[in-house]
């Protein structure tokens, strides 16, 4: 299934579902902050790599759109995580030597290249 953008999905969701996503995101972000404070920024950064609203979102997608779409969303989350790993790797390798703007630019390019490449590998050759 190829990803596509549908505004109609916004009409089907309820206010509490958005609140649930917000709460999940806040809890995971707070946990990352606590971990960074206790064990340092490297460990805290690992917690931030977890898609903060994914647990709530995948449950809601499964409920409204079915298992097939939920599986496809999980695939997209995995692909997105690859880009985040590339971003973090570039920041880790260059942050002490390069100016902040150059680090951000290079990390963003790495994220974009990895995510577009992964998307092309998974979705590009097929036609559904």
pLDDT tens track for 68-115: 888 888 888 888 888 988 998 999 999 999 999 999 999 999 999 999
Contact between 98 and 106 (Cβ < 8 Å): yes
Whether residue 8 is predicted with pLDDT greater than 80 in this model: the reply is no
Residue 126 has what pLDDT? 62
Mean pLDDT of the chain: 82
Q: pLDDT grade, residue 60 (50/70/90)?
A: confident
User: Measured between alpha carbons, how far is 13 from 15 in angstroms, rounded to an integer?
Assistant: 7
Determine the 3-state secondary structure of 104 from DSSP.
helix
Q: Measuring CA to CA, which residue among 58, 59, 32 is closest to residue 45?
A: 32
| Residue 29 C-alpha from the chain's centroid | 13
C-alpha count within 13 angstroms, C-beta hemisphere, residue 52: 19
Q: Stretch 5-26: mean pLDDT, rounded? A: 75
């Amino acid at each position: 299934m190829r990803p596509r953008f549908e505004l109609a999905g916004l009409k089907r969701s309820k206010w509490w579902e958005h609140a649930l996503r917000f709460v999940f995101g806040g809890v995971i972000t707070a946990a990352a902050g606590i971990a960074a404070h206790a064990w340092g920024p490297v460990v805290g950064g690992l917690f931030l790599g977890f898609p903060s609203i994914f647990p709530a979102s995948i449950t809601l997608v499964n409920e409204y759109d079915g298992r097939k779409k939920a599986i496809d969303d999980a695939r997209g989350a995995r692909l997105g995580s690859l880009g985040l790993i590339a971003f973090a790797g570039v920041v880790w390798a260059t942050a002490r030597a390069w100016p902040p703007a150059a680090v951000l630019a290079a990390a963003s390019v790495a994220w974009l290249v990895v995510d577009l490449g992964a998307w092309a590998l998974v979705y590009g050759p097929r036609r559904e």
